[in-house]
Amino acid sequence: MEGRPLDTEDDRLVERARQGDVHAYGALVQRYQDLAYRTAYLVTGAAADAEDAAQEGFVKAYYALARFRAGAPFRPWLLAIVANEARNRRRSARRQGDLAVRVAEDRPSGDAAPSPEVAALAGERRRTLLAAVNRLPAADREMLACRYFLELSEAEAAATLGCRRGTVKSRTSRALTRLRAVLAEQGDGHTLSVTIEGGGE
């Protein structure tokens, strides 16, 4: 996933794309396709829908560019359009696909090189937490995904989800409360906290 690119580069590309330079827009698509696809996938949980939503989002954004205010941040605006598309597809599907933990993560890797047992335990605990996330209402999962999986700032999450910053705060806190309740119901609240220490991060 891309880091936060310099806004000036976005500004330059957006300005050229607004003049009708399709190549400049292509550069913007290249730059943000991973993030857009990831966002769409977190909303839908389905690869095909996510691809559709990301593609459609980029096309719609292109045609709306003429009215994009120069100097405004491109990234959250694009994500808002993509998230909208993804939400439409999730609603058509009548359900959101479950997210999954990478299987490879069960094997020891990286600098920390935890023992296979610790790594397996960490994988198990992540699956437990994710199972709880998957059981949350769609709006809660979306909010948590924006804040913790995509690591968007409050301001960016607000723009992406089309709400105020204050609403991001309150909805995040509500989602965390519900997540805690689901975990308690699963009886995993305690074991989960052990995981993180054993996770070797």
Partner 1 sequence: MTGRDLERALADLGAHLEHPATPPIAEAVAARLADAPVGSPGAGKAAGAGEAARAGRGRRGSARPFPRPRWQRLALAGLAVVVLAAAVLAASPATREAAARLLGLRGVRIVIGAPGPTGTTGTGSELYLGEPATLAEARQRVRFPVVVPTEPGFERPDAVYVDPGVPADGRVDLVYRPRPGLPAAPGTGVGLLVTQFRASVDEGFLKKMQFGGGGLEVVTVNGQPGYWFATEHGFSYLDRNGNEVPETSRLAGSTLLWERGDLTLRLEGQVSREEALRIAGSVR
Look-up of token digits 């559709």: 52
What's the per-residue H, E or C state across 103-115? HHHHCCCCCCCCC
Torsion (CA) 95, 74, 24, 2 in degrees, nearest 10: -70
Instruction: Please report whether residue 8 would count as binding partner 1 according to CB under 8 A.
Output: no
Residues of this chain, 95-124, that bind partner 1 according to CB under 8 A: 99-103, 105, 123
Instruction: Please report whether residue 88 would count as binding partner 1 according to CB under 8 A.
Output: yes
Instruction: Please report whether residue 148 would count as binding partner 1 according to CB under 8 A.
Output: yes
**Beta carbons of 44 and 145 less than 8 angstroms apart:** no
Instruction: Please report whether residue 198 would count as binding partner 1 according to CB under 8 A.
Output: no
Distance, in Å, from the CA atom of 167 to the CA atom of 169, rounded to the nearest integer, reads 5
Instruction: Please report whether residue 51 would count as binding partner 1 according to CB under 8 A.
Output: yes
List 13, 86, 133, 136, residue binding partner 1 (CB under 8 A): 133
Closer residue to partner 1 (CB): 54 or 121: 54
Instruction: Please report whether residue 19 would count as binding partner 1 according to CB under 8 A.
Output: yes
**CB-count exposure of residue 74 (10 Å: 0-12, 13-18, 19+):** buried
Instruction: Please report whether residue 162 would count as binding partner 1 according to CB under 8 A.
Output: yes
Q: How far is the CB of 137 from partner 1 (least distance, A)?
A: 7
Helix axes 47-64, 22-44, angle to 10 degrees: 140
Q: How far is the CB of 17 from partner 1 (least distance, A)?
A: 7
